[in-house]
A and B are shown apart, each in its own frame.
Chain A
Amino acid sequence: MRDKLLHAPPDLDTFAGDLPRIDDVLSRRVNADPENVQRGLAQLVLTIVELLRQLMERQALRRIDGGTLSEEEVERLGRTFMELDTRMEELREQFGLDEEDLNLHLGPLGSLL
């Protein structure tokens, strides 16, 4: 997944929307870690979210005629975000972050949390 990030600006976290800088938040909460590890974690988290968003944007395009998703399947696809939410919650608990710290806005897909 890492090699999809062809160029990232120094302030990658600003692409997440109206958030305090993630590395500031992490340095408040995760005192023991050196600053570059915090930034690395923030980058990794945001990279994953960014890539998932790209993936969903790209796959939200036309399909070949003749194929259809049933209502049930559409509903299941919609539950993708709930799964992502669960993963993010695990990460948050592990690193002692508030929900607000990682409330990322994902455009037409709504808020992450």
Chain B
Amino acid sequence: MIELYAITCHPAPPLPPVAPLSEVTADGLAAVCAPHVERDASPRTMWHHEAVVEALMEDRDILPVRYGTRLADESAVARVLDERREDLVEALERVRDAVELSVRVRDRSVDASDPLATVRGHEVHDRLSRLARASARRRGSVPREVVRGAYLVERDSVAPFVEEVARLDEAHDELSLLCTGPWPPYTFVER
């Protein structure tokens, strides 16, 4: 069994020495994999998977693959690359030179169902979306949370994006903004 970490373009820089990684290549695409090792799923193993994906993200564009994804063998991997070629190439182009940032916004003054809070949240998401190539909002269930957003930001634009988050936090007394990242672009793998 083969464990999958990410899809990248090929050729690419040498694989980082963070795990026994290998590449299955097929005409311009590569799947980064490792032999599957039987182990209990835990925060530690998930962080390990994430560490591998992020090491790859350091110096190449990637489509991160969900933890626990595995295929029978290398030819199965190559088959997937061939069958999904168009989607994968398009997705790699979509995330080229970009990383994912996460922003959560909490409005402490009102109920999250209050229209005023909704408008404020929408404004913040709108401003941040303009600094990103793409953005997505998710439904959160934490009280007073008015934005749970993911932003596809060009690597060079991360600093100004974070500055804008800080500025918005400062400018709005009633809002608290939390920004984490950079993450591999899990949210933007699919259109």
The answer on a CB contact under 8 Å between B40 and A76 is yes
Give residues of chain B (70-84) contacting chain A, Cβ–Cβ below 8 Å: 70-71, 76, 79-80, 83-84
Kindly list chain B residues whose C-beta atoms are within 8 Å of the C-beta of A76.
40-41
Write out the residue numbers on chain A whose beta carbons fall within 8 Å of the beta carbon of B177.
Answer: 7, 9
Closest to B181 in A: A6
Interface residue A83 (Cβ < 8 Å from any Cβ of B): yes
Contact of B66 among A54, A63, A80, A83 (CB under 8 A): A63
Taken together as a complex, chains A and B put the C-alpha atoms of A45 and B169 apart, in Å, by 22
Instruction: Report which of B84, B140, B144, B179 forms a contact with A6, defined as CB distance below 8 A.
Output: B179
Contacts of A77 in B (CB 8 A): 41, 68
Within residues 34 to 58 of chain A, which ones have a CB less than 8 A from any CB in chain B? 50-52, 54-58
Contact partners of B65 in chain A: CB under 8 A: 63-64
Taking a contact as CB atoms under 8 Å apart, the answer to whether B179 and A11 are in contact is: no
A107–B106 touching, CB < 8 Å: no
Q: Which residue of A lies closest to B167 (CB)?
A: A7
The A/B interface has a contact count, at CB < 8 Å, of: 124
List A contacts of B79 (CB < 8 A). 66
Across the interface, do A11 and B69 meet the contact criterion of CB distance under 8 Å?
no
Q: Are A7 and B66 closer than 8 Å at their CB atoms?
A: no
A12: B residues at CB distance < 8 A: 178
Could you tell me the distance in whole angstroms from the C-beta of B183 to the nearest C-beta in chain A?
A: 6
Give complex CA distance A15, B71 in Å.
38
Given contacts A6-B158, A67-B4, 7 further A-B contacts (CB under 8 A): A15-B142, A15-B176, A62-B66, A67-B70, A67-B71, A77-B41, A84-B43
Between A and B, 24 residue pairs with Cβ closer than 8 Å are A4-B181, A6-B179, A6-B180, A6-B181, A7-B166, A7-B169, A7-B178, A10-B176, A15-B145, A15-B178, A17-B142, A50-B180, A54-B183, A55-B47, A58-B64, A58-B183, A62-B66, A63-B68, A64-B84, A76-B41, A80-B41, A84-B43, A107-B141, A108-B141
List 6 tightest A-B contacts by C-beta distance, closest first.
Answer: A9-B176, A58-B186, A7-B179, A77-B41, A67-B69, A6-B179
